[in-house]
């Protein structure tokens, strides 16, 4: 049977695919997956950095933009961090992504490596569930000018340096003043990011279908400053009022140093990330497995 995805890009976490794994074993994993895809009727290309850093040859190599323009599917081998990085870059092209998990947790890379053959085979021939995830568009504004522009799939975090005291942040929603918060920082998380840093800071889990964000203070000075869920159609602005060495991070993968008076303006991105999951996949199955719900229940 002909594959629904004629041209598939393989993207790997080439630094270390699995804890303690060697580059040789990691390369072997990717080559095994490439061979399997070929048997399924797919032409395989490798993402440029993955091929170069893993020493993979014998396959066509494309940079990320070309993958977006030419490929019908991206197959990401690694952990959630690998998926976050490539998901942001490919979102504007609408290329669907499948994640094979070699990380520890795997909320968005949900296919175990050991079952990839049995799981992928029906997916490549059209039997899958599709799941769309929203993105945050964030800008750092300084004296009326944008000095940093980024997308985030998980979260935007404004916080203090490890050796500094609290920061004071002015929060506005759609131009309306909300509060000045003194805290270690503030998280704006998407539903995808609600199971990441936001969850550890006391925020709620948001189902991916909810068009919202959660605003979570990190160790607030006033304990009545609690997480709040907002519609993602709003514009959130966070201004640095006081505190030393503040910074903004985007999915913990890019960082902007902040000055007093800087404003981090967050809006809903026009792009979204397309994930494909095995037929019968459920978000609640993922939560139950990854968060160890139901353990010890007879």
Catalytic: 80? yes
Of 49, 80, 143, 245, which is the active-site residue? 80
Q: Where are the beta strands (DSSP E) in the chain?
A: 7-12, 43-47, 60-62, 73-78, 97-101, 111-112, 128-142, 145-152, 155-159, 167-173, 176-183, 185-189, 212-218, 228-231, 236-242, 247-250, 254-257, 263-278
Identify the sign of the CA torsion 217, 132, 91, 15: positive
Q: Please say whether the beta carbons of 56 and 50 come within 8 A.
A: yes
φ/ψ (deg, to 5) at 273:
-100, 135
- Cα distance between residue 190 and residue 268, in whole Å: 10
Which of 185, 142, 180, 153 has the alpha carbon at shortest distance from 166?
Answer: 185
- Cα distance between residue 269 and residue 277, in whole Å: 23
- Cα distance between residue 155 and residue 227, in whole Å: 14
* R_g of the chain computed on alpha carbons: 20
Active site residues: 80
């Amino acid at each position: 049977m002909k594959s629904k995805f004629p041209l598939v890009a393989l993207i790997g976490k080439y630094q270390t695919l699995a804890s303690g794994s060697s580059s040789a074993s990691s390369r072997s994993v990717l080559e095994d997956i490439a061979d399997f895809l070929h048997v399924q009727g797919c032409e395989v290309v490798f993402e440029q950095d993955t091929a170069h850093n893993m020493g993979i040859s014998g396959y066509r190599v494309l940079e990320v933009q070309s993958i977006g323009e030419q490929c019908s599917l991206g197959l990401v081998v690694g952990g959630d961090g690998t998926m976050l990085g490539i998901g942001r870059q490919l979102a504007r092209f609408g290329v669907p992504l499948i994640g094979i998990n070699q990380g520890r947790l795997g909320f968005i890379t949900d296919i175990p490596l050991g079952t990839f053959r049995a799981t992928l085979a029906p997916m490549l021939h059209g039997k899958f569930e599709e799941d769309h995830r929203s993105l945050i568009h964030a800008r750092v504004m300084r004296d009326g000018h944008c000095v940093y522009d980024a997308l985030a799939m998980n979260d935007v975090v404004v916080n203090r340096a490890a050796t500094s005291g609290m920061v004071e942040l002015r929060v506005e929603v759609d131009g309306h003043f909300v509060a000045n918060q003194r805290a270690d920082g503030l998280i704006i998380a998407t539903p995808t990011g609600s199971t990441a840093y936001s969850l550890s800071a006391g925020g709620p889990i948001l189902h991916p279908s909810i068009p919202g964000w959660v605003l979570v203070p990190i160790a607030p000075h006033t304990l009545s400053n609690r997480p709040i869920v907002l519609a993602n159609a709003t514009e959130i602005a966070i201004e640095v009022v006081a505190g030393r060495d503040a910074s903004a991070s985007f999915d913990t993968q890019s960082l902007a140093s902040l000055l007093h008076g800087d404003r981090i303006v967050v809006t809903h991105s026009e792009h979204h990330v397309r994930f494909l999951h095995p037929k019968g996949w459920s978000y609640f199955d993922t939560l139950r497995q990854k968060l160890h719900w139901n353990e010890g229940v007879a």
